[in-house]
Structure 1
Amino acid sequence: MSEQPASAPPSFLSSVMLTGANVILEPLSALHIPELAEAVRDGELWNTWYTRIPAPSDMARDVEARLAQHEAGSAVPWAIRRTDTGAVCGMTTYLNIRAEHRRLEIGSTWLAASAQRTQINTEAKLLLLTRAFEDLDCIAVEFRTHWHNHQSRAAIARLGAKQDGVLRNHDVWRDGTLRDTVVFSIINSEWPTVRLALTSRLDRA
């Protein structure tokens, strides 16, 4: 009897629902636009100068752009739904997908102000990292943020990611200023320890 071929790994571009106790990551669709426009009003997030978060009036355009990137094979976007209220509270995305090198970036993430500094971000990142390392067999997952986004830098470090370096004058920002991009990563050998730390943090909360 011939041996069955090994199953192919899940596609890096597969859009799947990821479910935790506190958060559900739903494959992004145009149906999420009204809820996302409402969520971004919580904290008026689009006014933060060192981020690129869409205003309510720009939400449809932003969602359409993310869906086009998914169609083009360069990103996988999700809407973030909290389980306690059932409300959509943000978005997140797999970016810079390099399946042949088994690596990707988690980014373009934003959360409504009331969802920040809660279990939501921790569990969302745990779900995304688990899929990346355990389903997609990634060897590295990257995070990038603005040098001046100290809240984001601290949150990424709390995940267990290590800073790789700073890309100087990496982007021309919307107001013409230059962004220095801080690059962090988690590699596959670090994943078991990172997973344990994130799981323990959720258990203690």
Structure 2
Amino acid sequence: MNFEPVLENKRVLLQPLQQEHLQALLPVALDPSLWRIGLQHVASEQDLEAYIGKALGERAAQTSIPFVIIDKKENRMAGSTRFMGLSLPHKKTEIGATWITPALHGSGLNKAMKFAMLQYAFEVMELNRVEFKTDELNTQSRNAILSLGCTQEGIFRHHMITSTGRLRNSVFFSLLKEEWPDVKQRIFGKYDF
């Protein structure tokens, strides 16, 4: 199992996250709007260093595959995402911890990135299930996940505690291996990735 793959299509390049990406990611990560509705909060270089350190620790434990997102169209570092909660015995993972500079929201970058990750999860890793979860209050994220062809499975009440101490209700979504061929054609077939 490759825990440092490089994923790429015409629009996006996903490279394995490294501590050396700290300075390039910092201007993106310091945008407070990214952390308004989130479990974590990055407000300083030290916060981002800890965030990256945690992600790299999860990769070393083989439960996460973190990436930096590079927008090839804009030729710029755009944020970070990861496969997380990876369980090879159960052939499942979650795509999450995604944050993209607000300047590129709605640009198609997120859809290109999710396509690359879903294609890798189902066609290379041969997983049975990819999960997504988001804060019940994060309407933008919920709509984006639904636009990927995912099924909303339910809401886990008081599922997590955010960095501000708020009890978060988490909305769970999934996409299954059997659904991927249809979703690949129906949702992503109209794009030129």
Please indicate the TM-score interval, normalised by the length of the shorter structure. over 0.9
Residue 182 of structure 1 is matched in structure 2 by 171
The counterpart of 1:48, out of the listed 36, 45, 67, is 36
Q: Does structure 1 retain, via aligned residues, the 8 Å contact 2:81–2:96?
A: yes
How far apart are the structure 1 equivalents of 2:40 and 2:127?
27
**Worse overlay, 48-57 or 165-174:** 48-57
- Aligned partners of 1:193, 1:53: CA distance in 2, in Å? 37
Deviation of 1:31 (Å): 1.4
AA of the residue aligned to 2:151: K
Q: Is the CA contact 1:46–1:52 (under 8 Å) kept in the aligned structure 2? A: no
Please name the residue that 1:36 is paired with: 25
Matching residue within 123, 133, 137 for 2:126: 137
Question: How far apart, in 2, do the equivalents of 1:186 and 1:81 lie?
Answer: 25
After superposition, the C-alpha distances for 1:155-174 in whole angstroms (9 at most, x for unaligned) are 00000000011111111222
Unpaired runs of at least 5, structure 2: none
Give the TM-score taking structure 1 as reference length. Answer: 0.88
Q: C-alpha separation between the residues in 1 aligned to 2:184 and 2:76?
A: 26
Could you list the structure 1 runs, at least 4 aligned residues long, displaced by more than 4 angstroms after superposition: none
Note closer, same or farther for the CA distance 1:150–1:61 as it changes in structure 2 (3 Å cut): same
1:78-113 alpha-carbon deviations (Å, 9 max, x no partner): 000011232111100111111011111000001000
Alignment of 1:111-130 (within 5 A): 111-130=100-119
Give the partner amino acid of 2:133. R
Give CA deviations for 1:49-75 in whole Å, capped at 9, x if unaligned: 345352342111111110011111211
Aligned twin of 1:172: 161
Percent of aligned positions that are identical:
28
Pairs aligned (count)? 192
In the alignment, the residues of structure 2 paired with residue 152 and residue 96 of structure 1 have an alpha-carbon distance, to the nearest angstrom, of: 19
- CA contact under 8 A between 1:95 and 1:106: conserved in structure 2? yes
Q: Which has the larger radius of gyration?
A: 1
Are positions 1:84 and 2:65 aligned together?
Answer: no
TM-score normalised over the length of structure 2: 0.93
Higher helix proportion, which one? Answer: 1
Cα RMSD of the aligned pairs, angstroms, is 1.6
Check conservation: 1:126, 1:198, Cα contact below 8 A. Answer: no
Q: Which amino acid aligns with 1:49?
A: I
Say if 2:85 is the partner of 1:96.
yes
Given that 1:122 and 1:198 are in contact with CA atoms closer than 8 Å, whether structure 2 keeps it comes out as no
Q: CA deviation at 1:47?
A: 4.6
- What is the CA-CA distance between 1:201 and the residue it aligns to? 3.7
Determine helix, strand or coil for the equivalent of 2:10: coil
1:5 maps to what in 2? none
Change (3 A) 1:18 1:150: same
DSSP-derived class of the 2:130 partner: strand
| SS, match of residue 158 in structure 2 | strand
Q: Which amino acid aligns with 2:36?
A: T
* Contact persistence 2:17–2:67 (CA under 8 A): yes
